[in-house]
Structure 1
Amino acid sequence: MDLKILDRYILSRFLYNFFSSFLILMVIFIFQGIWLFIDDLAGKGLGLVIIGKFLFYYMPSLVDKVLPLTVLLSSILTFGTFAENYEFAAMKASGISLQRAMRSLIIFVILLGGVTFFFANNVIPKSEQKTFNLRRNIAKVKPAAAITEGVFSDFEGTGEGMNIKVDRKYGEQDRFLENVIIHKKTKQGVNNTVIKAKGGELISSEDSDIIQLVLKDGNYYEELKPKANKDRRKHPFAKSKFETYTINIDVSELNNQDLEEDGNITTNKMKNVTRLIKDIDSLGEDNLKKVEAFSKNISSRMGAFPLLTKKDSLRIETKAKQPEKDIDSKEEADTTKKKDSIQSVEELFAGLETWQQLQIINSSKTTVTGILNTVKSKKDELQKRFKFYNSHILSLHQKYALAFSCIILFFVGAPLGAIIRKGGLGLPMVVAIVLFLTYYFIGVFAGNYAKEGNIHPAFGAWLSTLIMLPLGIFLTQRATADRGLMGDGNFVERITTFFKFKKKEKKAEK
């Protein structure tokens, strides 16, 4: 048998299954993504070109889910079909082992792993950035898209900014709003005005650079800040009721918004390996500085762990030159003085008046409570900072783990297909989905634990792949030795035979 012809045949069958599986799975995940972002796309008056760009930018971010599943499914399909059609039996009869039959595919999968890493390092970060900026810029051009039901949304024009919360949006292009709450911000970014209305409407025109937000049946609250303290106490805020209140928003600059404009790279998913390594070092150093500064601040407030002062060498030399008698007499005097002055805390506290004791206790409680509140608030801040730091380490290792997982899952799927001896999209699809969900959810849970700092981020990124590694070795050994999934026979065939035997027994009884 010509081995080159055999290699081309096996490779062509695998590539057919690989690309067909990839296209089918990509379409499925794209539809899932459309449902995920349906609120950002539907009813906003967006053209097909903008929606097409959004989906085009979104597709590369699905590769980390689609590609491992594709490798697993296509390898099970290919080798399951070979085993089912007794093509493997013919290969083994010709003296061709499973490893030799897999050689061309092993080379392809290794090259695929390299391409996957390049894709994860260069294409996916750019895709995440493009998707993020396109959603942000759509929200600027289409004002209704910037308002999310049930939460406060930033809504900024060229003038004063504001936060808007609505209970419901309805009507054409979501122009009508129900139960509106607005926090208007000053130029310094301070919320000093609150507007509440039962209803509202966004009115715009293609020929105008002004969008009108017309509020109906509401109240207006404004915090006044006179210069004199006396006036602040007398007039803390102004309140008024209105039937109709119109807010004009100048969008002359926003109408010229470029939907392809790239903003700052803000998340770890938007960064490549070089940027991640650089940011990991800077974030780690910055976090340590924050912890050290906070520790010194708390120590100084508590009066504990005083900083050691440097010794004066000149005073030490002067003391050394003093006669021994003078030194001894001075030490005795100091010891006597300390004995007279030292008292226990209980004795010191008992010697005070009752009002003084209460004052000390209340002061101590206030101090301790203040320190505890400071520690709790700082703890939340530091947890967010370290979570951000851990997510960068996790993202860095996930890029390498994704490339390596394609190789590992091939060595899981190929021998598994040879063992179960089933082709088509029935049993292989079920087995592939079960294995992939196991792999995927282990990765998700490990990633969440890693971000919270419960496990090391590098371990969290590699855990699912490391679990699949011994499974791949085990299955490859079983398939090479022509042994079943469990025991010496085929586990699937045993189950099938068992049910066939039960059916025969029932027919015999009848």
Structure 2
Amino acid sequence: MLTSFLYNFFSSFVILMVIFIFQTVWLFIDDLAGKDLDLIIIGKFLFYLMPNLTEKVLPLTVLLSSILTFGSFAENYEFAAMKASGISLQRAMRSLIVFVTILGGVTFFFANNVIPASEQKIFNMRRNIAKVKPAAVIVEGVFSDIEGTEMNIKVARKSGEKDRFLEDVIIHQKTVSNLNTTVIKAKTGELISSEESDIIQLVLNDGYYYDEMQPKSSKEKKKKPFTRSKFETYIKNIDVSTLNDQDIEQESDITTDKMKNVFRLNKDIDSLKLNNIKQVKAFSKNITARMGAFPIKKVDSAKSRKIKQTEKPIPSKKIDTSFNRNDITTVLPVWQKSQLINNAKNSIANILNTVRGKKTELNKRYEVYNRHILSLHKKFALAFSCIILFFVGAPLGAIIRKGGLGLPMVVAIILFLVYYFIGVFADNYAKKGAMHPIFGAWLSTLIMLPLGISLTRRATADKGLMSFGNVIDKVTSVFKKKKKSN
């Protein structure tokens, strides 16, 4: 049984990994296709991508291989022979349970050490490919920054060999003080480069050159003067000497939650939590001070008693109650009243704008915090999901009694899609704070747990997947009781 399961497991893993790799290649086709990249670089990119796919491939592999193994055994009546010999289903599954438990431990080690390293490698390669290949960073229809230059470029379409020909080019050239004062527009353009030179020529055709002038006098600044010139051909040289020395696999200090192990995640979760609390407290104090409302300070009871004993009673004064204390505008002139109301409206509007802006910032901060908690618990949930999905697939294969890649494949894909989509929706809700991140990480696994327990009990008792006969008998018995009572 163990030999049959291992054969189905490794063959299913290889087939599913190839399918998922081809599916993932389409997601990164814009980063790889037509960028003049070596096959070695593309191979490394796909190799570093494989560990990240295991969190999808492994649960489906365990589910499919367990259904295939136990379905073929039940189809050939080998379980009936085992039970006739006094071997129960739990005893037959004992070696597989040990293997799946070890597989869960290996999966956790893989998720904790290998997947974060591969995420770091993929991030660095995508970032450095854009640096080494300037044409690769120019995306059609959006403004793109070219690394190493103060230039922001947008093109409507790229064509030709290595995407060298450009159409509808718009360039924003920034100054030393990071001001966007120069705009260049051209109908067509061309990137000309050679392996021997560190200079890339950007040849623009049939366009205009706009440049904002910076006058010294304030009167001239109000006029906002600029110069405009038309050109038939404009050549712009781009120095890429620093980019050509760039290593494709050079490491950077940028890290996300997926690039961290359990130790680093625990450390960062505590620091992010404390930092968010400090941000909220500091903002609340700032808003309280701007509103003019101050919290009441707590006074020590012992000190207050001493003060009361030493202080002399203050003679009471008559308070003028001729005006409404809740509305101070009743004692002010009309012009001061309108001025006071306008100032109050402006103050409230400014405070509300500040609160809205801070709310957006805090939402982003707490989303990062939730992502770290999700990544931490998903490492453990992935290991347990392999074990639980085994107890779903093994009894299910024994119940449906069908081997091969027909019905078992369909059942496995349906169950996996349910498991996967529940996890995706739970992740999205947890990142936005709609549910607790811990619950979001474990939801899909917890839903499969009672299903595995139920299927194992039914397979042990030799029951079918759904006994419609018992349901019909119960319904008919209810109607018979009603007839007798009538």
- Scaled by the length of structure 1, the TM-score of the pair is 0.87
Unaligned 5+ residue runs, structure 1?
1-9, 492-510
1:332 maps to which residue?
316
Work out whether residues 323 and 330 of structure 2, in 8 Å CA contact, stay in contact via their aligned partners in 1: no
SS at match of 1:39: helix
Q: CA deviation at 1:486?
A: 1.1
Residues 1:242 and 2:226 aligned together: no
Task: Give, as a single letter, the amino acid of the residue that structure 1 aligns with 2:373.
Answer: I
Counterpart CA distance in 2 for 1:404 and 1:419 is 23
Q: CA deviation at 1:490?
A: 12
The alignment-based identity, stated in percent, is 71
SS at match of 1:248: strand
SS at match of 2:355: helix
Counterpart CA distance in 2 for 1:382 and 1:347 is 36
Task: Give CA-to-partner distance per residue, 1:5-27, whole Å, 9 cap, x none.
Answer: xxxxx111001000000000000
Q: CA deviation at 1:223?
A: 4.0
Distance 1:489 1:98, change over 3 A: farther
Q: CA deviation at 1:470?
A: 0.3
Task: Give CA-to-partner distance per residue, 1:79-131, whole Å, 9 cap, x none.
Answer: 00000111111111111111111111100000000000011011111111101
Given the alignment, which residue of 13, 16, 37 partners 2:7? 16
1:437 maps to which residue?
417
1:32 maps to which residue?
23
Counterpart CA distance in 2 for 1:261 and 1:178 is 33
1:409 maps to which residue?
389
Counterpart CA distance in 1 for 2:139 and 2:183 is 18
Counterpart CA distance in 2 for 1:316 and 1:166 is 78
Task: Give, as a single letter, the amino acid of the residue that structure 1 aligns with 2:315.
Answer: E
Counterpart CA distance in 2 for 1:318 and 1:424 is 90
SS at match of 1:468: helix
Task: Give, as a single letter, the amino acid of the residue that structure 1 aligns with 2:40.
Answer: V
Counterpart CA distance in 2 for 1:403 and 1:463 is 14
SS at match of 1:361: helix
SS at match of 1:484: coil
Given the alignment, which residue of 281, 292, 306 partners 1:303? 292
Residues 1:180 and 2:169 aligned together: yes
Q: CA deviation at 1:407?
A: 0.2
Q: CA deviation at 1:154?
A: 2.1
SS at match of 2:420: helix
SS at match of 1:182: strand
Distance 1:454 1:276, change over 3 A: same
Distance 1:342 1:408, change over 3 A: farther
Counterpart CA distance in 1 for 2:305 and 2:90 is 80
Name the count of aligned residue pairs. Answer: 470
Q: CA deviation at 1:316?
A: 8.7
Task: Give, as a single letter, the amino acid of the residue that structure 2 aligns with 1:434.
Answer: I
Counterpart CA distance in 2 for 1:223 and 1:345 is 57
Counterpart CA distance in 1 for 2:8 and 2:140 is 44
Q: CA deviation at 1:296?
A: 1.3
Residues 1:454 and 2:434 aligned together: yes
Q: CA deviation at 1:153?
A: 2.0
Task: Give, as a single letter, the amino acid of the residue that structure 2 aligns with 1:233.
Answer: K
Residues 1:82 and 2:73 aligned together: yes
Task: Give, as a single letter, the amino acid of the residue that structure 1 aligns with 2:316.
Answer: E
Spell out the pairing of 1:306-317 with structure 2 (5 A cutoff): 306=295, 308=297
Q: CA deviation at 1:246?
A: 2.6
Distance 1:371 1:342, change over 3 A: farther
1:473 maps to which residue?
453
Work out whether residues 120 and 259 of structure 2, in 8 Å CA contact, stay in contact via their aligned partners in 1: yes
2:336 maps to which residue?
356
1:194 maps to which residue?
183
2:60 maps to which residue?
69
2:93 maps to which residue?
102
Work out whether residues 411 and 473 of structure 1, in 8 Å CA contact, stay in contact via their aligned partners in 2: yes
Counterpart CA distance in 2 for 1:93 and 1:397 is 44
Task: Give CA-to-partner distance per residue, 1:437-472, whole Å, 9 cap, x none.
Answer: 000000000000000000000100000000000000
Counterpart CA distance in 1 for 2:193 and 2:334 is 72
Q: CA deviation at 1:317?
A: 5.9
Work out whether residues 166 and 177 of structure 1, in 8 Å CA contact, stay in contact via their aligned partners in 2: yes
Work out whether residues 411 and 472 of structure 1, in 8 Å CA contact, stay in contact via their aligned partners in 2: yes
Work out whether residues 200 and 216 of structure 1, in 8 Å CA contact, stay in contact via their aligned partners in 2: yes
Q: CA deviation at 1:136?
A: 1.0
Given the alignment, which residue of 255, 260, 276 partners 2:249? 260
SS at match of 1:199: strand
Counterpart CA distance in 2 for 1:11 and 1:342 is 94
Counterpart CA distance in 2 for 1:490 and 1:23 is 42
Q: CA deviation at 1:201?
A: 1.7
Unaligned 5+ residue runs, structure 2?
472-486
Work out whether residues 287 and 385 of structure 1, in 8 Å CA contact, stay in contact via their aligned partners in 2: yes
Work out whether residues 79 and 414 of structure 1, in 8 Å CA contact, stay in contact via their aligned partners in 2: yes
Please say which of residues 370-379 and 27-36 is displaced more in the overlay: 370-379
Q: CA deviation at 1:233?
A: 2.3
Given the alignment, which residue of 452, 459, 464 partners 1:484? 464
1:212 maps to which residue?
201
Please say which of residues 45-54 and 243-252 is displaced more in the overlay: 243-252
Work out whether residues 483 and 490 of structure 1, in 8 Å CA contact, stay in contact via their aligned partners in 2: no
1:421 maps to which residue?
401
Residues 1:167 and 2:156 aligned together: yes
SS at match of 2:383: helix
Task: Give, as a single letter, the amino acid of the residue that structure 2 aligns with 1:404.
Answer: F
Counterpart CA distance in 1 for 2:256 and 2:470 is 48
Counterpart CA distance in 2 for 1:341 and 1:166 is 73
Work out whether residues 419 and 490 of structure 1, in 8 Å CA contact, stay in contact via their aligned partners in 2: no
- Scaled by the length of structure 2, the TM-score of the pair is 0.91
Counterpart CA distance in 2 for 1:292 and 1:422 is 62
1:506 maps to which residue?
none
Residues 1:377 and 2:357 aligned together: yes
